[in-house]
Each structure stands twice: as C-alpha cells, then as structure tokens.
C-alpha cells in the first residue's frame, strides 16, 4: 500500500501539470470535466471487465489480462501525443504585463502597497 501511494504521489503532480497546460486550449473547466469523466469511466469499466471475465469463468488471469487492452491504448495515445506535442509549455499564453495606470489611490491603499 505504501508503494502504491508513493507511486501515485510521484505521478499525480506531473499529470496535473500536463493537464493544466493542455486545458488552456479547450478551457480549464472542460479539461477538468473531461479528465474526471475519463477517470470515472475507467474506474467503472475496469472492475466490470474483470467481473465479466470471472462471470464467463475465464479466471483471474484473463480478468487482469483484459486490463492490458485499455492500458496499451492509453500508453499508445500518450506516445503519439508526445510526438505531436513535444513541449506542453507551448500551450501556455504569452506573458503579460500588469499595469496599474488609472487605478485610484484607494485601490493601492487597500492592497497594502
């Protein structure tokens, strides 16, 4: 259990950074919703696939082997997209400069500057 949690702690920040860069193009709300939808579909279909294999009496080996199909598809998509978009930072908008011109003095006092 400790190894699984450690692996998740290593994977999750990198995944979230990649998702935040990619979501710039489609919108952060849509990106978050799409990720959550895929996560929930996987969390539902995975156990159902294993249960179907057990139901048809193909055993645990076949049940876990069938999970290699979505894993292979996911890794294939990741490798293809890595070739198409090698630098996810390209999705970020350019830097912008904040100008304080035209703001009343009360704004700056309230801000504490």
Confidence class of residue 111 from pLDDT cuts 50, 70 and 90?
confident
The Cα-based distances of 48 to 42, 44, 101 in angstroms read 10, 6, 59
The predicted model gives 40-69 an average pLDDT of 93
Calculate the average pLDDT of the chain: 85
Average pLDDT of 82-92? 79
Note the pTM of the prediction, 2 decimals: 0.61
């Amino acid at each position: 259990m400790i190894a699984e949690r450690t692996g998740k702690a290593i994977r999750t920040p990198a995944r979230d950074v990649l998702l935040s860069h990619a979501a710039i193009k489609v919108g952060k709300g849509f990106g978050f919703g799409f990720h959550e939808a895929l996560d929930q579909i996987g969390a539902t279909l995975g156990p159902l696939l294993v249960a179907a294999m057990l139901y048809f009496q193909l055993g645990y080996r076949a049940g876990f082997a069938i999970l290699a199909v979505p894993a292979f598809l996911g890794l294939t998509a990741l490798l293809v997209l890595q070739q198409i978009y090698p630098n996810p930072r390209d999705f970020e908008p350019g830097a912008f400069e904040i100008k304080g011109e035209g703001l009343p003095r009360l704004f700056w006092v309230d801000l504490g500057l």
